[in-house]
Amino acid sequence: MDAHVGARPSPTTNFKVELRLTQYLNKSGTISNEGITALHEAITSAVAHALENNTDEILAFATSAVREAKNGAAIIEEINERHQIDLQILTGDEEARMTFLAVRRWLGWSAGKILMLDIGGGSLEIAYGINESPEATLSLPLGAARMTRDFLSGDPYSDKDVKFLQDYVMDNLEKKLPAILRSHDANHFVATSKTFRTLARLSGHWFNDNPKYLELAHLEALTSKLAGMNEKERADLPGVSASRAQQIVAGAIVARSVMALLDIEKVEICPWALREGIVLRRLDWLQG
């Protein structure tokens, strides 16, 4: 990114590897050797791309899969030594706070009290507040890739598996949502992440909605439609990549569950998320 204090961070290049690290978490809670190899290969390519583009500073952070892996600390140490970077693990709270900062900066102060939802591959983040730092945050291991790996198999998914996942997600949310989030008085509801953007595009495709928003009523309908399709049929939908086709059902279930439980009828899709939040926080630190 081209970023400096007081300016809007502007991406100058993009490079992405579809790693899906949660798929390499085994039953013992460690990332497999295959996953570690894939991670090193991805980082090697990313660092090379950064250097080719004359990057002044690399900000490297790991989220859900690495922070929850029993061998996460050892992996981080090896990565930093081999690739000569400073890879840091973000806690779920930090992830929610930085994403919330990006949302606040994108929408501005006129957005009022914001309730933010972010569904990643490994976790769900929720944040709420009126300032740049949220009053409350919550991070739960309910990411789309994780839920797909743990609960959904076959092609198409069975009704039994889908129902079990729906019950599991709702049960977790009901047990772990703190009172401050349940009784929120937010007036602006925002969603970030590829999962929500994909769902909003699908809602626009099927229901002629504005893809900048996602309505709960239409989300409920499209969740049922997606669950009834096989993977190829989902991949053929506009805006759904082959890799996203596998986990979009689980993502829709998590999105629908959290919106219903928090009485959110519609969310606005924010293009800024964790990446921008990390850059903005770094700029704030430099300015301070």
> CA torsion angle for 80, 83, 85, 86 (degrees, to 10)?
-20
Region 65-70: mean pLDDT is 92
Task: Tokens for 58, please give them.
Answer: 């690399």
Q: Could you give the C-alpha distances from 11 to 15, 50, 219, in angstroms and in order?
A: 11, 12, 31
Query: Over 80: is that where the pLDDT of 280 sits?
Result: yes
Helix axes 159-176, 242-261, angle to 10 degrees: 50
Region 190-214: mean pLDDT is 96
Percent of the chain with pLDDT over 70: 100
> Among 169-178, 217-226, 252-261, 275-284, which stretch is predicted with the lowest mean pLDDT?
275-284
Query: Over 90: is that where the pLDDT of 168 sits?
Result: yes
pLDDT for position 122: 92
pLDDT for position 288: 62
Q: How far apart are the first and last CA of the chain?
A: 20
Residue with the larger pLDDT of the pair 7 and 146: 146
pLDDT for position 23: 86
- Res. 276 pLDDT band, cuts 50 70 90: very high
Beta carbons of 70 and 30 less than 8 angstroms apart: yes
Query: Over 90: is that where the pLDDT of 10 sits?
Result: no
Which domains occur in the chain, in start order? 1-89 (3.30.420.40), 92-274 (3.30.420.150)
Query: Over 90: is that where the pLDDT of 241 sits?
Result: no
The number of beta carbons lying within 10 Å of the beta carbon of residue 237 is: 19
pLDDT for position 286: 79
